[in-house]
Chains A and B, each alone.
Chain A
Amino acid sequence: MSLNDPAPVELVGGSVAIGGRPVLRGIDLEVPAGQFLALMGANGSGKSTLVRALIGLRPLTTGRLTLFGTPIDRFQDWSRIGFVPQRGGATSGVPASVWELVASGRLNHRRLFRPLSRVDRAAIADALEVVGLADRAGDGVATLSGGQQQRVLIARALAGEPELFFLDEPNAGVDLANQISLATSLGRLKDRGATIVLVAHELGPLAALVDRAVVMRDGRVAYDGAPLADHAVHGGAYGDAHTHHHHASHHEHDHVPVVRSPLEGPR
């Protein structure tokens, strides 16, 4: 990759409003290729909203966002992007096998009405191998533990062989053993040269991988620089000043106050 290649993510003056209320204000963020960036902050600080804005799930009200040098509204090259949402999306009303869920991450390489090619199958097998679930490929996703489901979602993103990963709280509610194997999987990705943007409340075993930390507070960037320890993020200047972070959830707030009827959404 030459020095002239545009950065994978470049956001200038980005703002996001939800339900008419400004949530993110004036965010500047450039993520160079190969960087492991941790987006941190308390609950309600806007870190998840920011990552959703970066992949186009939330429209920007102002500002300019480019992915690999292409403005987001003209961006078509989705096979370069991998997204790992919070674990909620792993199960649905019908059983699905681990392999099927991971295979759905390969859709950005497939044409309509065409079967999977040999290359597709190899990519799916490789993704399962990286997260250490190759032996569970035929099992139903619903029979897996929370941490294993999270790894399935990572494998799904991995199957598309992207260069840029976005992960939304991958270690929330995951036990330590699974957090460690998660860190191992992400370490392999990093070694392959992937650019990673990770949203996390606490880093835990992932801390060793982080190159740069961005701490959000109330919808604005409060810190951008070298990695911070978990207690530095949630104590002092960036967290809720007078509480320890384990109690911070008492101060959780909604960006959009609940003033709506059952038929209307938050948009």
Chain B
Amino acid sequence: MTFWELFQYPFMQRALIAAAFTGFAAPAVGTYLVQRRLSLMGDGIGHVAVTGVALGLLAQAGVLGGLVTGISPTWTAVVVSVLGAVIIEAIRSRGHTNGDVALALLFYGGLAGGVLLSGLGGESSARLQEYLFGSITTISIADVIVTMVLATVVLVIGVGLSPQLFAVAQDQEFARVTGLRVGFYNVLVAVLAAVSVSVAMRTVGLLLVSALMVVPVATSQQLTRSFRSTLIAAMVLGAAASIGGLVLSAYLSFHATVAPGPTIVLLSLTGFAVTWPVGAWIRRRARLREPFPAIPPPDHEPTEHAHQHGKDCGHTAVPHGDHVDYVHDGHRHAEHGAHYDEH
């Protein structure tokens, strides 16, 4: 079997579809979480979802009785993580911090509960591991359809309501005075985050899910100036990382055991590592060229200067009132007739 023949297999096609939808949807919510400085919320929800997955596995094994058999772990994960997200949001909105202690409490409770429950059900750790670190190549048709539907819901709300969600995440009090129902939108973002965690669970796994929500946003904002371009670039980067990571891991798996989940996350992080120096350089350049305050110099102070400043002289030209100062070894030189003045 060659690398290209791999794409003829249904399991690979299902994996590609799931990766594409997840890659677009996760950063769409992640942008609002980063905007609220709640980048770790996805992680908190992911840990809570472990308990949901364990409940689903228990139900499949019939331990919970006939009432709930046939429920897939995806759905129990959705329910439990939505519940967890709403609790996190409730604590956050009541508290005066970002609720990081509340997040921590749910982190550990969710993870411990999940591991304990899956032990009770006699599940092998391998089964739980599928959800912890992703298993996109074993995804079923039913799961692909669920992924597509949920990801589409997340995308429609995350992009369609972006003016409202942006305003609420930017400044809650202003949004309230604008007449927006702030509490509703806060819970909506929490629920969207929970849904995208459950969606991305099969792709990169619960322990890595937050990376797909946050890293593309961190990468795109290195180069963007507006919210809209950050959101769109993050979605494109997320999709590129998840499809690219899946294909890359498939290619590498001819030589070694390479799991798709970590490959996707590492590819995404590589994108950040490449972009950050560029962003840092652009920001430094913008800082150096920011106009000086239009305050005239204390007195006329000509300087001995043989060098002729100009467009391409290599010295930073900074607007200063009605003229330009050339930054020169800690001095600011302004052209004044035949000579330069110290400004």
Interface of chain B residues 41 through 97 with chain A (CB within 8 A): 91, 94-97
Complex interface bits, A98-127 against B, C-beta within 8 A gives 1, otherwise 0: 011101110110101100000000000000
Task: Write the residues of chain A forming the contact surface with B, with a CB cutoff of 8 angstroms.
Answer: 52, 55-57, 76, 78-79, 81, 83, 85, 89, 92-97, 99-101, 103-105, 107-108, 110, 112-113, 138-140, 143, 156, 160, 166, 177, 262-267
| Shortest Cβ distance from residue B8 to the other chain A in the assembled complex, whole angstroms | 40
Residues of A within 8 A of B217 (CB): 94
Stretch in contact with the other chain, from B30-38, B200-208, B262-270: B30-38
A-B pair count, CB < 8 Å, reads 113
In the complex, are the beta carbons of A92 and B225 less than 8 A apart? Answer: no
In the complex, B228 has a CB within 8 A of chain A: yes
Beyond A57-B173, A95-B227, A263-B101: 10 further Cβ-contacts under 8 Å? Answer: A89-B171, A92-B35, A93-B34, A94-B227, A107-B164, A113-B161, A143-B286, A156-B174, A160-B178, A262-B95
Residue ID in chain B nearest A267 by CB atoms: B94
- Sample of 5 A–B contacts (CB below 8 Å): A94-B34, A95-B224, A104-B163, A113-B161, A265-B94
In the complex, B242 has a CB within 8 A of chain A: no
In the complex, B11 has a CB within 8 A of chain A: no
In the complex, are the beta carbons of A78 and B179 less than 8 A apart? Answer: yes
Per a CB cutoff under 8 Å, which of A81, A107, A264 touches B94?
A: A264
> What range describes how many residues of B lie at the interface?
35 or more
Q: From known contacts A94-B31, A96-B226, infer whether A108 and B179 are also in contact, taking CB-CB under 8 Å.
A: yes
The 7 A-B residue pairs whose C-beta atoms are closest, nearest first, are A78-B179, A89-B171, A97-B226, A104-B167, A83-B177, A94-B35, A140-B225
A92 to B91, CA, bound (A): 21
Residues of A within 8 A of B221 (CB): 94-95
A112 to B55, CA, bound (A): 37
A104 to B175, CA, bound (A): 8
A93 to B19, CA, bound (A): 26
In the complex, are the beta carbons of B178 and A101 less than 8 A apart? Answer: no
Residues of A within 8 A of B174 (CB): 83, 85, 89, 104-105, 156
Residue ID in chain A nearest B34 by CB atoms: A93
